[in-house]
Amino acid sequence: MSSATLLIDNIGELSTQHWQDRTPAAAAESVLHDAAVVFEGERVAWVGPSSSAPAADERYDAGGRAALPGWVDSHSHLVFAGDRTAEFEARMAGQAYAAGGIGVTMAATREASDDELRLLLKARVAEAAAGGTTYLETKTGYGLDVPNERRSAELAAGAVDEVTYLGAHLVPAGTDPDEYTELVCGEMLEAVRPYVRWADVFCERGAFTEEQSRRVLAACREEGLGLRVHGNQLGPGAGVRLAVEVGAASVDHVNFLDDADVEALASSWGDWSGPGSSEGTGTVATVLPACDLSTRAPLAPARRLLDAGVEIAIASNCNPGTSYTSSISFCVTTGVLQMGLNVQEAIRAATFGGALALGRHVGLDEDGQRAVGSVAVGHRADLQLLDAPSATHLAYRPGMPLTYAVWRAGERVR
């Protein structure tokens, strides 16, 4: 039995993000005018000009508004209780950011009940969806003991699309770092494994050394998890090159890069045949503009990375300490106004780039999941409308609430 169909027509500008390569010509070809999209259940069934659109069971008139894929947020930390306003105020008064505030959130999260955390998580996911996010990754990392990491993973698995194990977020105070690393690689990993697809490590001074990070990543790979790395946020370090060495899908933050880091990332993409392929993908550099602004860090060099041939993603890093926002629109705006990207490059990084960082950019994968991050036949029916005639208004009218309507897997969620 076929699924119901929905025609969304009279789209003034449709930014499909279905690029064949990263040339300006491909970018231009991915933007359609006076366009339409047909959803069949959870999938995109047709894309093209409104004048040629097929009949459907239902019709939605976009009223000449701009449409683009739903945001794919490939980096967030949503399972937590409490906030860190005092830390934020201190940072705004001139104190430097350090990773130690994670312990404050750990304590509040451990004290919260399952129901409290579930309600907080549900509200954050709904807030992200209202802002156009239709595919969402989140991490553990505020439990930092076996029962609380397991609890965080289980709660996240019931609320978001992708769950990442981040037991290696910080060594809890009073704990031996090597002993804690062994726990992360052993009993804790075993406890969270049923709920997670990815593993991450904070390879940074004050967190985990290169050797400890390598041990965590090796243990998680043995358990079949995909790999991610927090790296080069607080200063130059080993995170980026370690991520490339182990074949991590993404290395995130990347604020402090030298030429060798950029070259390593670029070389990881040497065998990739393009957006339609899952073979030969390298390590995505995920930039986190809201975090950079909140911590007053040097902005990640997004323009330099793109020009070197590195694929980038833009994500929120929504967390209570350094980036308490789920607004990908804000991050895209920052990418354009402050990081040297043009509008289509920034949108691509926050849609297709996020999907690439999560290995969800092509076809039906081994889990039977449809591709996200671009509007193309066979992909998941994720779409957002802006209350504006073109996507350029995201940066042209910064801070304005332009998200007008949102569909996730064919279902309207705003």
**Binding-site residues from annotation:** 75, 77, 84, 142, 169, 230, 233, 317, 319, 321-322
Binding residues for Zn(2+), by number, are 75, 77, 230, 317
The encoded tokens of residue 294 equal 């909140």
Q: DSSP alpha helices (H): ranges in 30-176?
A: 85-92, 102-111, 114-130, 146-157
**Helix, strand or coil, per DSSP, at residue 398:** coil
Q: Which residues are CB-neighbours of 353 under 8 A, at least 6 positions away? A: 72, 74, 284, 286, 311, 312, 313, 314, 373
Q: DSSP alpha helices (H): ranges in 223-308?
A: 239-246, 259-267, 289-295, 302-307
Contact of 354 with 314, CB cutoff 8 Å: yes
Enumerate the β-bridge partners of residue 411.
Answer: 408
Phi and psi torsions of 380, nearest 5°:
-65, 145
DSSP H or E run through 344: helix 343-350
- Cα–Cα distance for residue pair 256/240, rounded to 1 Å: 10
Binding residues for 4-imidazolone-5-propanoate, by number, are 84, 142, 169, 233, 322
Binding residues for Fe(3+), by number, are 75, 77, 230, 317
Binding residues for N-formimidoyl-L-glutamate, by number, are 142, 319, 321
The encoded tokens of residue 248 equal 């991590």
Determine if residue 293 is left, alpha or beta; phi over 0 gives left, psi from -120 to 50 gives alpha, anything else beta.
alpha
- Cα–Cα distance for residue pair 32/70, rounded to 1 Å: 16
Contact of 174 with 145, CB cutoff 8 Å: no
